[in-house]
Structures are given as C-alpha cells and as structure tokens.
Structure 1
C-alpha cells in the first residue's frame, strides 16, 4: 500500500506541475498579445517585432 500511495502522490504532483506550467504559459501568451496590440497602436515596429518573436518562441515550446 505504501508504494501505491507514493506512486499516486508522484503522479498527482506531476499533474499539478503540468497544470501550473500551462497556466503560466497562457498568462505569458495573453500578456504578449496585449503588448503586441499596444506596440501596434503606438506604431512601434521594433517592439512589435521583438514581441512577436518572443510569442513565436513561447508557442513553439508549448
């Protein structure tokens, strides 16, 4: 019974970490979209390009 509980705890911990990582990734993505919109509104091409590259990088990791 002890080994089963340890396995179950490890799986729950892994699942919680996966959920947390996904929540963080979605938050970062949403923030980048807002920053990209702001750069577009300001006509800031340098920031726009940097932010879109960062967004592409984030999306390729997920």
Structure 2
C-alpha cells in the first residue's frame, strides 16, 4: 500500500510541475508578444527579429 501512495504522490508532483511549466511558458510567450508589439510601434527592427526568433524557439 505504501508503494501505491509513493507512486501517487510522485504522479501528482509531476502533474503539478507540468502545469507550472505550461503556465510559465504561456506567461513568457505573452510577454514576448507585448515586446514584439512595442518593437513594431517603435520601428525597432533588430529587437523585432530577436523577439520573433525567441518566440519561434519557445513554440517548437
């Protein structure tokens, strides 16, 4: 019975970690989109390219 409890707690921990990772990824992507909008508004081509490259890397 203890092995089942350990396995269950391990699975819960992994699930929580996955949810947190997904939330952090979504937050970072949202921030990049805002920065891309800002770069476009300012005409900052270099920042736009760097940010879009970072966004592409995150979305793979």
Q: TM-score range by the shorter chain?
A: over 0.9
- TM-score after normalising by structure 2: 0.99
Report how many aligned residue pairs link the two structures: 60
Corresponding position of 1:24: 24
- TM-score after normalising by structure 1: 0.96
**Higher RCO (C-alpha 8 Å, min separation 6):** 1
4+ runs deviating over 2 angstroms: none
Corresponding position of 2:15: 15
Question: Gapped runs of 5+ residues in structure 2?
Answer: none
Answer yes or no: is 1:52 the counterpart of 2:29.
Answer: no
Answer yes or no: is 1:36 the counterpart of 2:32.
Answer: no
Question: For residues 53 and 23 of structure 2, what CA distance do their matches in structure 1 show?
Answer: 21
Q: Once superposed, what is the RMSD of the aligned Cα atoms?
A: 0.3
